[in-house]
């Protein structure tokens, strides 16, 4: 089995009888022009004629329509069967002739010797590719940001079914605005961001220690943010070159050295042996590549420094659209809570009077356009108009605001930080469907999805174990109100200082 690292979560896998590509994203940015593949792939011509396309989940850095349009339409496409329908039809609309919604735990035979199996973890999926006795497990984004209980459950499932894993690919970096895009007095954004990335790297090592593969590779974090207010986030990432040492120091149970490789675009695994053929290896400084962001995306960075401003007529149209849209979403939330909620939308590409102050009267949104936030606003949401429109237009467009780092949220005080009001504002400003509303509209689809999960007793056991402590990884009062030292103590992380690297620019975090 030959595996070439293309970029981010994209792998080109050649088993000798079939050529597969995973989660292709390399043609243009994702999340409404906010995420950019970095470092760029070395060569993508070889993926144009693959036999199969393996998509793990629907986030745009893994399911990228613009990239899919450049791939062979005769390729067999696999996408996980989920509670939310319509994706199969969308892929077929791109011109693909053979699209399969992969059911949880069912083995799909690609050739006589090669098969693929999906294992669902909420909206994410673990993908297992087997060929001629070799086993490649692609954990992707499914586990490294989850609770210990959830990780342990899936490690048991994987170990029982595949006791010997040859290659393990697993995410190790954050793909969410939380907590980096939430700001409150007293929070050190940079230090908290570093701890969160350490937690994800720590979980990567936990997964490796539990599965004990022949070879493990941290991946799916090859992207850069280019907007001036977010570029500091590029610098808090856990350096993949340190992963092996971190594992040996904190997880190794014996003297046998666990093979953990740091791979870059153009590198190849040939039956588990690394061929370090990436040209990026010669361009590193202090073991990092961030200094190349300015080189690879110079034009995009300049354009983001000086965005074009909305015309006054467009600002008025946006105000009417916001009033109508927020009022339509208000019914999803507690009416009593909304009566006391005030927040401010600061539209970053609007010149004068760029604050839309929002309050509610009888579940109807009241907007006042002003130069500054109203007194008493619980939080201020700073977002470009383009992202606002995208989030309101498409059912999952809100991913651009959250996962895509599209909105900076400034919370008034520590009390607001613990109240999850940012999630309420997110729900008011996006079309994201709620499970309750979707079940009402599509009960048959949801029932089919639930029936195709693991056995009910296993599912209940997992739900029970994961709810004991809850997932502290997304606890607002934890990540917004505690210091970096306190967070390390809570999650049992060892003391660790990020080694200085060559920065991509003189960027300063908001905190």
Residue 452 has pLDDT above 60, yes or no: yes
The CATH number of residue 227's host domain is 3.60.15.10
Co-location of 53 and 192 in the same domain: yes
Q: How far apart are CA 365 and CA 358, in angstroms?
A: 7
The CATH number of residue 320's host domain is 3.30.1050
Instruction: Return the structure tokens found at 311.
Output: 């015309």
Q: How far apart are CA 88 and CA 428, in angstroms?
A: 28
The model's pTM:
0.93
Co-location of 100 and 160 in the same domain: yes
Q: Is residue 402 part of a domain?
A: yes
Query: Which domain range does residue 397 map to?
Result: 312-438
Q: How far apart are CA 476 and CA 430, in angstroms?
A: 20
DSSP three-state, residue 201: helix
Q: How far apart are CA 378 and CA 410, in angstroms?
A: 9
* H or E segment to which residue 491 belongs: helix 484-491
Q: How far apart are CA 64 and CA 67, in angstroms?
A: 6
Quick one: which of 105, 71, 77, 106 has its CA closest to 89? Answer: 77
Return the minimum-mean-pLDDT range out of 13-27, 327-341, 461-475: 461-475
* pLDDT tens track for 77-113: 999 998 888 999 999 999 999 999 999 999 999 999 9
Using 50, 70 and 90 to split pLDDT, how confident is the model at 453? low
Find the DSSP H helices in 176-259.
189-211, 243-250
Q: Contact at 8 Å (CB) between 251 and 205? A: yes
**268-270 and 379-383 beta bridge pairing:** unpaired
Co-location of 36 and 69 in the same domain: yes
Domain final residue, candidates 438, 470, 486: 438
CA 89 to each of CA 86, 94, 116, 160, 479: distance values in angstroms, whole numbers, following the listed order: 5, 9, 21, 35, 39
Q: Give the pLDDT mean for 442-467.
A: 62
Using 50, 70 and 90 to split pLDDT, how confident is the model at 469? very low
Number of domains composing the chain: 2
pLDDT at 443: 86
pLDDT at 9: 97
Q: Is residue 473 part of a domain?
A: no
Co-location of 392 and 248 in the same domain: no
Instruction: Return the structure tokens found at 19.
Output: 């050529």
Task: Give the DSSP per-residue string, 403-454.
Answer: TT---EEEESSHHHHTTTHHHHHHHHHS-PPPHHHHHHH-HHHHHHHHHTSS
Sheet holding 343-347, edge to edge: 182-183, 408-411, 379-383, 343-347, 355-361, 364-370
Q: Is residue 334 part of a domain?
A: yes
Co-location of 358 and 274 in the same domain: no
Other CB atoms within a 10 A radius of the CB of residue 133 amount to 9
Residue 317 has pLDDT above 90, yes or no: yes
The interaxial angle of helices 148-161 and 456-467, nearest 10 deg, is 150
DSSP 8-state assignment for residue 223: E
Q: Is residue 272 part of a domain?
A: yes
* pLDDT tens track for 327-363: 999 999 999 999 999 999 999 999 889 999 999 999 8
Q: Is residue 500 part of a domain?
A: no
Co-location of 319 and 361 in the same domain: yes
Domain final residue, candidates 438, 456, 471: 438
Co-location of 268 and 329 in the same domain: no
* pLDDT tens track for 260-303: 999 999 999 998 999 999 999 999 998 899 999 999 999 999 99
Residue 229 has pLDDT above 70, yes or no: yes
CA dihedral over 38, 59, 146, 254, signed as positive or negative: negative
pLDDT at 445: 84
Q: Is residue 196 part of a domain?
A: yes
Q: Is residue 318 part of a domain?
A: yes
Q: Is residue 193 part of a domain?
A: yes
Co-location of 236 and 348 in the same domain: no
Co-location of 317 and 280 in the same domain: no
Q: How far apart are CA 122 and CA 57, in angstroms?
A: 10
Q: Contact at 8 Å (CB) between 291 and 507? A: no
Instruction: Return the structure tokens found at 205.
Output: 């090592």
The mean pLDDT of the chain is: 91
DSSP three-state, residue 338: helix
pLDDT at 46: 86
Co-location of 318 and 293 in the same domain: no
Co-location of 286 and 141 in the same domain: yes
Co-location of 325 and 381 in the same domain: yes
pLDDT at 418: 87
Residue 238 has pLDDT above 80, yes or no: yes
CA 105 to each of CA 47, 91, 225: distance values in angstroms, whole numbers, following the listed order: 27, 22, 36
Domain final residue, candidates 273, 302, 331: 302
């Amino acid at each position: 089995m030959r595996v070439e690292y293309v970029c981010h979560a994209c792998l080109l896998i050649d088993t000798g009888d079939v050529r597969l590509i995973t989660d292709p994203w390399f043609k243009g940015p994702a999340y409404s022009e906010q995420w950019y593949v970095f470092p760029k792939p070395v060569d993508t011509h070889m993926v144009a004629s693959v036999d199969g396309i393996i998509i793990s989940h629907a986030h745009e850095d893994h399911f990228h329509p613009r990239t899919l349009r450049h791939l062979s339409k005769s390729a067999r496409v696999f996408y996980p069967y989920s509670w939310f329908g319509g994706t199969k039809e969308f892929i077929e609309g791109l011109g693909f002739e053979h699209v399969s919604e992969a059911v949880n735990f069912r083995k799909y035979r690609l050739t006589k010797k090669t098969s693929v199996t999906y294992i669902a973890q909420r909206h994410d999926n673990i993908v297992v590719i087997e060929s001629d006795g070799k086993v490649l497990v692609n954990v992707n984004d499914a586990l490294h940001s989850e609770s210990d209980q959830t990780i342990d459950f899936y490690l048991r499932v994987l170990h029982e079914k595949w006791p010997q894993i040859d290659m393990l690919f697993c995410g190790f970096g954050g793909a969410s605005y939380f907590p980096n895009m939430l700001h409150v007095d007293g929070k050190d954004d940079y230090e908290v961001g570093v701890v969160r990335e350490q937690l994800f790297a720590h979980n990567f090592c936990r997964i490796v220690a539990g599965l004990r593969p022949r070879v493990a590779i941290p991946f799916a974090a090859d992207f850069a943010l280019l907007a001036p207010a977010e570029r500091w986030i590029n610098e808090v990432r856990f350096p993949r070159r340190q992963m092996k040492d971190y594992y040996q120091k904190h997880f190794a149970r014996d003297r046998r050295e666990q093979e953990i490789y740091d791979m870059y675009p153009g590198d190849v695994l040939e039956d588990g042996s690394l061929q370090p053929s990436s040209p990026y290896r010669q361009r590193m400084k202090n073991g990092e590549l961030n200094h190349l962001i300015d080189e690879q995306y110079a034009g995009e960075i300049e354009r983001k420094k000086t965005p074009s401003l909305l015309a006054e007529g467009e600002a008025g149209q946006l105000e009417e659209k916001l009033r109508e849209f927020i009022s339509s979403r208000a019914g999803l939330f507690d009416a009593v809570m909304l009566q006391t909620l005030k927040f401010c939308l600061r539209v970053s590409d609007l010149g004068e009077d760029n604050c839309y102050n929002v309050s509610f009267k009888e579940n109807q949104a009241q907007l006042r356009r002003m130069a500054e936030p109203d007194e008493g606003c619980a939080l201020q949401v700073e977002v470009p108009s383009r992202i606002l429109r995208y989030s309101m237009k498409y059912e999952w467009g809100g991913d651009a605001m959250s996962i895509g780092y599209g909105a900076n949220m400034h919370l008034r005080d520590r009390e607001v930080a613990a109240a999850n009001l940012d999630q309420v504002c997110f729900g008011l400003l996006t079309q994201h469907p709620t499970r309750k509303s979707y079940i009402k509209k599509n009960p048959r689809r949801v029932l089919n999805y639930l029936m195709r999960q693991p056995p009910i007793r296993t599912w209940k056991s997992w739900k029970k174990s994961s709810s004991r402590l809850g997932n502290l990884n997304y606890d607002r009062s934890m990540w917004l109100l505690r210091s970096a030292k306190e967070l390390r103590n809570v999650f049992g992380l060892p003391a660790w200082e990020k080694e200085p690297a060559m920065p991509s620019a003189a960027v300063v975090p908001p905190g």
